[in-house]
C-alpha cells in the first residue's frame, strides 16, 4: 500500500464535558485542498497579552473599542488585512457589536465582540480566504497554538478539478455506491439546478448531508456558476462544523488530509493537488469574459450608435468610462489581493477628538470649574490624582507609535468622560 493511501489512526471519539466528539479522519496529502471559509473564536485577553510589549499602561480594564485595535493589528499580521469600519447593529452571532474585516469595498468577513464570555469571533469569508497573504494558514496555526480558548467553529475545505477528473455525475454515482456513507448510514442528498434535467448549461449542484450538521458536502460546477457554460471546473467542498465534531487546529495546515478522510470517496482524489492561485486566476478570467459578454449586451448598441454618429473611440470611451478605481464586482483587485490598495484599519490611529474642542481644552475648562468649587481637601486631592492619570494617558497619545497613540487616546477619552460625569453637579 502506498503512503498516499495509508490511513493514519486519527479517527476516534473523546469526551469533553461528558459529550462524545468525533475528530475528523486525516489521510492523504496536506496540499490537496484549501480553506474557503473559516469561523473561529478566541479569548479577547489573548490579544492584550500578545501586545503587552506596547508599553501602554491601563488604569482600568480596557473596553471593547480598545481591544479592537489590538485585534486589528494581530489580524493584519496573520492575514494581511485588519479591521475596518464598525457596522450597525449586533451582527448574527449574539455579540454586542461587530466590525467589517478589511476594506468596505469587498467582503472579507466580520469580527464580533462584546459578551459571550469574553471571546471574539472572527468570520472569514471565501473572498477573505482568497485575498489573504500567502501562508496565512500557517501563521494562524502558530497563533492558535498559544492563544487562549482558540476554537474553530466552522471550516470549509475545498478542492478544485479543472479537466473533468471529477464531476457532479461521478459524485452522485459514488453516493449511490455508498462512498459517502457515515458510520454505515447513508446521508440524505439533494440535487439543485435545472441542468440536472434539462442540460441547459446553468450548472449542477449536489448536496450530501444536512446543512448545519458536523459535516456537509457540496459538489458543484464552479465554472458554470461563474457563467461559462462550457467549463469543466468542478469544486468539491466539505463544510465542517463543531456541533458534534471537534475541529483540530491541525486542519488549518493539513486541510487536504482531513477533506480526503471525511468520506471513503476521498480515496478517489486524495492524490490531487489543487493550488489556490490556479482557481483564482481561472475565476478572474471567467468573470472577465462574462462581464465583457454582458457589457456588450448592455451598452454595445449605444456604442455602435455613437460610432455611427461620427464619434471616435476616444470620445466614446471618455463618455462611458467609470471613474478611476471603480471596477465591477468579481474583478476588484482587492477581491484577489488584500495589498492591491492601501486601506486604513482600526489600529492605524485615526480616532477623532470629540467635536468642538480638544481633550486638553476640555480638561483645562474642567479644572478651572473644580477650582472654583468648595471641595474638601481630600476630594480635591482625589480629583488631582485623577487628572494626573488622564495627563499620563494624554501624553502617551502623542507617541509616534500608532498603537500606543491610538489606545492611550481612547483611555484618556474614557477618563475625561468619567470625570465630567462624576463632577457634573459642580459644572452647572
Distances (CA, A) of 65 to 43, 62, 97: 15, 8, 10
Q: What is the pLDDT of residues 102-117, one digit of tens each?
A: 988 888 999 999 988 8
- d(C-alpha 410, C-alpha 322), whole Å: 39
Q: Are 143 and 137 in contact (CB under 8 A)?
A: no
If asked whether residues 200 and 245 sit together in one domain, one would say yes
If asked whether residues 181 and 88 sit together in one domain, one would say yes
Helix spans in 242-358 (H)? 255-262, 276-308, 313-320
If asked whether residues 19 and 151 sit together in one domain, one would say yes
Name the grid cell of 296: 456588450
If asked whether residues 412 and 306 sit together in one domain, one would say no
Phi then psi for residue 240, to 5 deg, are -95, 135
Name the grid cell of 363: 480638561
CB atoms within 10 A of CB 213: 15
Tell which wins on pLDDT, 328 or 137.
Answer: 137
DSSP states of 278-304 as a string?
HHHHHHHHHHHHHHHHHHHHHHHHHHH
Q: Are 275 and 160 in contact (CB under 8 A)?
A: no
Look at residue 215 and tell me if it is in a domain: yes
Q: Which pLDDT belongs to residue 202?
A: 87
Percent residues over pLDDT 70 in the chain: 78
Q: What is the pLDDT of residues 264-289, one digit of tens each?
A: 998 877 665 444 444 455 555 656 66
Determine the average pLDDT of the residues in 291-297.
69
Q: Is 207 exposed, middle or buried (0-12, 13-18, 19+ CB in 10 A)?
A: middle
| Total domains present in the chain | 3
Q: Are 223 and 245 in contact (CB under 8 A)?
A: no
Determine the average pLDDT of the residues in 230-259.
89
pLDDT surpassing 80 at residue 294: no
Distance between alpha carbon 331 and the CA centroid of its chain, in Å? 19
Q: What is the pLDDT of residues 167-195, one digit of tens each?
A: 999 999 999 999 999 888 999 999 999 99
**Nearest partner of 394 among 418, 370, 378, 411, judged by Cα:** 411
Q: Give kind and range of the element (H or E) at residue 384.
A: helix 377-396
pTM of the model: 0.67
Distance between alpha carbon 290 and the CA centroid of its chain, in Å? 27
CB atoms within 10 A of CB 338: 26
Domain holding 409, by residue range, is: 349-426
Look at residue 344 and tell me if it is in a domain: no
Q: Are 411 and 390 in contact (CB under 8 A)?
A: no
pLDDT surpassing 70 at residue 50: no
If asked whether residues 378 and 297 sit together in one domain, one would say no
Highest mean pLDDT among 74-83, 345-354, 399-408: 74-83
Q: Is 165 left (phi over 0), alpha (psi -120 to 50) or beta?
A: alpha
If asked whether residues 361 and 222 sit together in one domain, one would say no
Distances (CA, A) of 26 to 99, 142, 265: 34, 20, 13
Q: Which pLDDT belongs to residue 428?
A: 55
- d(C-alpha 284, C-alpha 282), whole Å: 5
Tell which wins on pLDDT, 54 or 262.
Answer: 262
Look at residue 263 and tell me if it is in a domain: yes
Look at residue 3 and tell me if it is in a domain: no
If asked whether residues 231 and 126 sit together in one domain, one would say yes
What is the torsion angle, in degrees rounded to the nearest 10, for the CA atoms of residue 358, residue 361, residue 366 and residue 368? Answer: 180
Find where cell 461620427 sits: 310
If pLDDT is split at 50, 70 and 90, which confidence band does 98 have?
A: very high
Determine the average pLDDT of the residues in 220-235.
85
Q: Which pLDDT belongs to residue 189?
A: 95
Distances (CA, A) of 294 to 201, 227, 290, 378: 17, 10, 6, 76
If asked whether residues 125 and 258 sit together in one domain, one would say yes
If asked whether residues 66 and 171 sit together in one domain, one would say yes
Pick the range with the lowest mean pLDDT from 213-227, 244-258, 277-291, 386-400: 277-291
If asked whether residues 137 and 61 sit together in one domain, one would say yes
Q: Mean pLDDT over all residues of the chain?
A: 79
Q: Which pLDDT belongs to residue 7?
A: 28
pLDDT surpassing 80 at residue 309: yes
Highest mean pLDDT among 23-27, 148-152, 259-263: 148-152
If asked whether residues 322 and 364 sit together in one domain, one would say no
Amino acid at each position: 500500500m502506498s503512503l498516499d493511501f495509508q490511513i493514519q489512526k486519527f479517527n476516534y471519539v473523546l469526551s469533553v464535558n461528558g459529550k462524545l466528539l468525533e475528530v475528523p479522519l486525516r489521510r492523504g496529502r496536506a496540499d490537496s485542498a484549501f480553506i474557503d471559509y473559516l469561523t473561529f473564536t478566541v479569548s479577547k485577553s489573548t490579544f492584550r497579552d500578545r501586545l503587552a510589549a506596547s508599553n501602554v499602561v491601563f488604569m482600568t480594564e480596557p473596553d471593547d473599542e480598545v481591544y479592537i485595535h489590538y485585534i486589528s493589528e494581530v489580524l493584519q499580521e496573520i492575514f494581511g488585512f485588519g479591521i475596518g469600519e464598525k457596522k450597525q447593529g449586533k451582527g448574527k452571532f449574539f455579540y454586542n457589536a461587530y466590525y467589517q474585516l478589511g476594506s468596505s469595498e469587498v467582503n472579507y468577513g466580520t469580527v464580533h465582540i462584546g459578551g459571550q464570555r469574553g471571546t471574539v469571533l472572527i468570520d472569514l469569508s471565501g473572498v477573505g480566504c482568497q485575498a489573504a497573504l500567502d501562508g496565512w494558514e500557517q501563521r494562524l496555526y502558530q497563533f492558535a497554538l498559544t492563544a487562549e480558548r482558540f476554537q474553530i467553529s466552522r471550516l470549509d475545505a475545498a478542492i478544485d478539478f479543472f479537466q473533468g477528473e471529477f464531476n457532479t455525475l461521478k459524485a452522485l454515482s459514488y453516493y449511490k455506491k455508498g462512498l459517502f456513507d457515515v458510520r454505515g448510514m447513508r446521508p440524505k442528498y439533494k440535487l439543485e439546478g435545472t441542468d440536472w434535467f434539462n442540460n441547459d448549461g446553468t450548472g449542477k449542484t449536489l448536496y450530501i448531508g444536512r446543512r448545519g450538521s458536523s459535516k456537509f458536502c457540496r459538489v458543484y460546477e464552479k465554472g458554470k456558476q461563474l457563467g461559462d457554460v462550457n467549463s469543466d471546473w468542478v469544486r468539491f467542498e466539505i463544510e465542517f462544523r463543531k456541533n458534534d465534531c471537534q475541529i483540530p487546529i491541525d486542519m488549518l495546515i493539513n486541510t487536504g488530509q482531513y477533506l480526503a478522510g471525511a468520506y471513503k470517496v476521498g480515496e478517489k482524489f486524495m492524490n490531487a493537488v489543487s493550488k489556490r492561485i490556479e482557481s483564482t486566476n481561472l475565476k478572474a478570467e471567467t468573470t472577465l469574459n462574462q462581464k465583457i459578454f454582458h457589457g456588450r449586451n448592455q451598452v454595445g448598441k449605444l456604442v455602435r450608435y455613437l460610432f455611427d454618429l461620427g464619434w471616435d473611440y476616444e470620445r466614446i470611451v471618455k463618455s462611458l468610462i467609470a471613474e478611476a478605481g471603480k471596477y465591477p464586482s468579481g474583478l476588484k483587485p482587492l477581491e484577489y489581493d488584500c495589498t492591491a490598495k492601501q486601506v486604513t484599519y482600526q489600529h492605524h490611529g485615526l480616532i477623532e477628538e470629540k467635536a468642538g474642542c480638544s481633550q486638553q481644552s476640555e480638561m483645562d475648562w474642567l479644572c478651572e470649574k473644580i477650582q472654583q468649587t468648595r471641595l474638601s481637601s481630600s476630594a480635591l486631592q482625589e480629583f488631582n490624582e485623577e487628572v494626573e492619570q488622564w495627563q499620563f494617558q494624554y501624553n502617551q497619545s502623542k507617541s509616534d507609535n500608532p498603537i500606543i497613540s491610538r489606545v492611550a487616546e481612547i483611555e484618556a477619552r474614557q477618563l475625561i468622560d468619567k470625570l465630567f460625569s462624576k463632577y457634573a453637579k459642580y459644572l452647572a
